[in-house]
Each structure stands twice: as C-alpha cells, then as structure tokens.
Amino acid sequence: MNQDIRTFPVGATVDPVAIERNRVLRNTYWLLALSMVPTVLGAWIGVSTGIARALTPGVGLVVFLAGAFGFMYAIEKTKNSAAGVPVLLAFTFFMGVMLSRLVGQVLGMANGASLIMTAFAGTGAIFLGMATLSSVIKRDLSVMGKFLFIGAILVLIAGIANVFIQSGALMITLSVLVIGIFSAFILYDLKRVRDGQETNYISATLGVYLSVYNVFQSLLMLLGIGGGRNE
C-alpha cells in the first residue's frame, strides 16, 4: 500500500480560521501589488497628456474628491462580487492620473527621477516595516482605529483648506502628519486582517492602498520641496 506523502504529526489539527486569515492576507498582498500597475499607468498617461495639470487647483480638488469617494462607494458595493477587483483597479488608475500632477512637477526638476525613486524606496521601507510589525505585535490594535480616523479627517480638512491658502509651512506640516498617520494605518489594517477582523481582501486592499498612496505622495512632496534642484 502506498503511503500518502501528506503526513501530519499525531494529534495535529488544521485550523480553518487560520487558513482563511492567511488566504485573505495573501490575496490582499497580491491585489495590492497588482494595483500598482494601473496606478503607474495612470500616472504615466496623466504626465504625458497633462490632463491633471490642466485642471485648476479648485476644479482638480472637486474632481479628486468626487472621483475618489464615488469609486470607494462602488468598491464597497461590489466587494463581494466578480466586479469588485475590476472596480478597485479602475480606482487605482484614477488615483494614478490624479497623482500625475505632482509627479510631473517633480520630474521637471533636475533630479526629479531620483526623487521619485527615493520616495518609492521610502514608501516600500515603511510598508515592509509596518507589515513586519503587524506579524509581531500580539495585542489588539482596534483602539487605534478611531484616533487614526479622526487624524485622517483633520488632515483632509486642513489639506482642502491649504488648496486655497497655499501655505508652504502648512503643506510641510501636513505631509509629515500624513506620513505618520497613514503609516500607522498600514499597521492597523494589516493587523485587522491577521486578527480576522477584516475578512474581505478587496476591502483590506483598498485600505492599505490608500495608506501607501498617501505615504508616497507626502514623501514625494517633502522631497520635492526640500531636495529638488531646478534645471
């Protein structure tokens, strides 16, 4: 009789809850990686066509807010259907187009390409650090949620106000705060998946993507302000 090669130690059990959590986490990582493709494509098209740059700051803000919240509503409605992933990827393409205004400005600097790569590397390091922490920390981080949400709302309101105020000092302050708040959000969202509090990988990906997007954008803004060189 042939022995089944899939042998387990005597008394070993398979935890279906742990398997499901690992599946959601794995799918979240894969979809997050996939979402970078339309984001880069959207940014490239935006820079090439100048579509985002052609909008005035006020109009650009309205388009961004309407598009972002519209897509997030659609993602929430379709997250349990076959349309969920395409809608999420369409959202990340839109976010790439909206990012192209800042990317184009930085690329116009003598060291623009290196600044973008530095921001990308910094964002990757922050993500890796938060992902590692989420696997090490054992305590429940649910209490962080409401404080992070309040912080995100406050910086959003201040950011909208600064579109009209145009204060460089406030922009720098907000960028630093955004990096801190959304780095913590990455940890919080990944920990929720690991703890089984988030069971839908599309929702999980949306949360982590928004945090990564905000961290990258703020890092790029800071680098552009502090380290940019004119041609």
Q: Would 182 be classed as within a structural domain?
A: yes
| Predicted confidence (pLDDT) per residue in 108-156, tens digit | 888 889 999 999 999 999 999 999 999 999 888 888 999 999 999 999 9
Q: Is the pLDDT of residue 7 over 80?
A: no
Q: Greater confidence, 166 or 174?
A: 174
- Write the DSSP string, 143-177: THHHHHHHHHHHHHHHHHHHHHH--HHHHHHHHHH
Would you call 183 helix, strand, or coil by DSSP? helix
Q: Which residues form the domain of 111?
A: 17-226
Q: Would 100 be classed as within a structural domain?
A: yes
Q: Would 102 be classed as within a structural domain?
A: yes
| Predicted confidence (pLDDT) per residue in 45-77, tens digit | 999 998 888 888 888 889 999 999 999 999 999
Tell me the percentage of the chain whose pLDDT exceeds 90: 73
Average pLDDT, stretch 79-92? 95
- Position 5 scores a pLDDT of 47
* Reported pTM: 0.90
* Residues making up the chain, counted from first to last: 231
Q: Into how many domains does the chain fold?
A: 1
